Amino acid sequence: MESGAVFAAGLHPNPPPCSAHLLRRAKLLPPPPKLFSLQLPKQSHFASFGNYNNNNNVTSLKVASPASNVAVELADIDWDNLGFGIMNTDYMYIMKCSHGENFSKGELQRFGNIELSPSAGILNYGQGLFEGLKAYRKHDGNILLFRPEENAQRLRMGAERMCMPSPTVDQFVEAVKATVLANERWIPPAGKGSLYIRPLLMGTGAVLGLAPAPEYTFLIYVSPVGNYFKEGLAPINLIVETEMHRATPGGTGGVKTIGNYAAVLKAQGAAKAKGYSDVLYLDSVHKKYLEEVSSCNVFVVKGNVISTPAIKGTILPGITRKSILDVALSQGFKVEERLVSVEELLDADEVFCTGTAVVISPVGSITHLNKRVSYGGSDGVGRVSQQLYSALTSLQMGLTEDKMGWIVELK
């Protein structure tokens, strides 16, 4: 193991009583009287915890824990004005392995800064991936995850492209569960937001020549969030980028590698300076077919047909994208994955974007070569966008029956 890639966050105090209760109830934490250890089934071993010492305040708001009369004291946050930003929570999850080996043991650690060698693969050659998913709290106190195994499979696909080992699907899902339960007091009350979960896979071993790193770290941290766009479900306004491109054929546009996202910042910043919400990118070959927005997939609606660009290596296979296609089919829409031209975009009845952070964002207007086209009627929110948003968020938050088998309930 590279000594330069040791993490500085080494304190392991007892979690708050509410979190400890949930960990024991999830069979991730046995119930010794003072010190206790946490072990993932067959995969990962968690370090022991000492005395708890956390200066974060709690509110008087209490939420009943599922299948228990234990109340959860939530973190001291203005839940009604929760934005999309980072908040330091209680715990993060760490798991390491060497190149050519498999991940096996992981642990919960206090959330904090990490220490890396200056020659870590992630810092020098960008050998890293990330994922994003959410946990929701139901009115009865139960906690829900939405399709976490899809994130695990996408991470494994990306890791193969980036020459990295990756956790198994079971390891990924169990690590997510443990991290969410350990930070349970940071999950917003029902209807107030969600707990955003950010898994990272990084080459943290020291390497000078261009090569795969000798050591890798899988890390998960979380943060409570509200809406990604400040407009919420209100319409966003996009501009079509005609000069810069997000991805090229044969590149890494189809995996969630870290370097994909810094490349969009220049165009995105210029667009926001002009009053637009974000940028819609075109393909780099023909420069006329839609690809995606900076961090979202895009859909166009014409009559009863919902179309979205096909996954061909330059577009990220979004999990929300995939879910919306299935939901739309179940509601009687015809769905198409194919090349979608700018001309079709400008002639559409509706346009919307999808992603984990935004879920669905209706597009109020598109500007292309100084021509602006508006959508969605007087309020800019189209009927189809609203219908699909309501259907998917109701499912994610446990308000409707999960007939798809997508929800993982933490009890």
CB contact at 8 A, 359 and 305:
no
Low-confidence ranges of the chain (pLDDT < 70): 1-71, 229-232, 411
Q: Quick one: which of 289, 293, 350, 299 has its CA closest to 323?
A: 299
CB-facing half-sphere around the CA of 402: CA atoms within 13 A: 15
The active-site residue, picked from 96, 134, 177, 256, is: 256
What pLDDT was estimated at residue 379? 78
What pLDDT was estimated at residue 12? 41
pLDDT digits (tens, 9 = 90+) for 342-401: 999 999 999 999 999 889 999 999 999 999 999 987 777 899 999 999 999 999 999 999
Domain 236-396: homologous superfamily in CATH: D-amino Acid Aminotransferase, subunit A, domain 2 (3.20.10.10)
Cα distance from N-terminal residue to C-terminal residue, the chain? 36
Q: Quick one: which of 152, 112, 149 has its CA closest to 131?
A: 152
pLDDT digits (tens, 9 = 90+) for 7-29: 333 334 444 444 444 444 444 44
- Range(s) within the chain of domains with CATH label 3.30.470.10: 3-225
What pLDDT was estimated at residue 297? 97
What pLDDT was estimated at residue 24? 43
Token output for 258: 């870290």
Q: What DSSP assignment string belongs to 34-79? A: S----B-SSS-BPPP-B-------EEEEEEEPTTSSPEEEEES--G
- Range(s) within the chain of domains with CATH label 3.20.10.10: 236-396
* Amino acid residing at 20: A
CB contact at 8 A, 186 and 63:
no
Out of 3.90.76.10, 3.30.470.10, 3.40.50.300, 1.20.1090.10, select the CATH number for domain 3-225.
Answer: 3.30.470.10
Would you call 256 a catalytic residue per the annotation? yes
Distance CA 179, CA 219 (A): 10
E strands present in 124-232: 128-130, 133-137, 143-146, 194-203, 215-225
